[in-house]
Amino acid sequence: MCLREPRRSSWCMLLLLLAGLPALAQESPAKLRVDMYRGGFATVNSFVFSNGKSQIVMDVQRKSYEADKLIALIKAKGLPLSHVLITHGHTDHFTGMARLHQAFPQARIVVATEEIKRAIKAYAIYMGSGGETGAEPALEPALKPKTPQNPGGFDYENWIEVLPSKTLSLDGGGTLELSTDYLPAEADYMTTVYSPELNALFLSDFGYNRVHLWLGDDISRQDIANWKAELGRIKRDYAARNPTVYPGHGAVTDMSMFDTVIGYIDDYTRVTLAAKTRREAMAQMTALYPGWGEADFFLKYSLENHVKE
Interface with Zn ion by CB under 5 A: which residues?
92, 205, 248
Closest CA to 201 of 249, 240, 251, 255: 255
Query: Could you tell me the smallest distance in angstroms from the CB atom of residue 209 to Zn ion?
Result: 12
Query: Could you tell me the smallest distance in angstroms from the CB atom of residue 63 to Zn ion?
Result: 13
Nearer to Zn ion, 140 or 205 (CB): 205
Nearer to Zn ion, 68 or 217 (CB): 217
Query: Could you tell me the smallest distance in angstroms from the CB atom of residue 33 to Zn ion?
Result: 23
Q: State the DSSP string of 250-297.
A: E--B-THHHHHHHHHHHHHHHHHHH-SSHHHHHHHHHHHSTT-B-III
Nearer to Zn ion, 109 or 219 (CB): 219
Nearer to Zn ion, 219 or 275 (CB): 219
Coil, strand, or helix at residue 178? strand
The CB density around residue 160, as the number of other CB atoms within 10 Å, is: 22
Closest CA to 308 of 286, 276, 279: 276
- Rounded distance, CA 86 to CA 58, Å? 6
Dihedral sign computed on CA atoms, order 87, 89, 91, 97:
positive
Nearer to Zn ion, 32 or 60 (CB): 60
Query: Could you tell me the smallest distance in angstroms from the CB atom of residue 248 to Zn ion?
Result: 5
Contact status, residue 201 vs residue 245, Cβ threshold 8 Å: yes
Query: Could you tell me the smallest distance in angstroms from the CB atom of residue 69 to Zn ion?
Result: 17
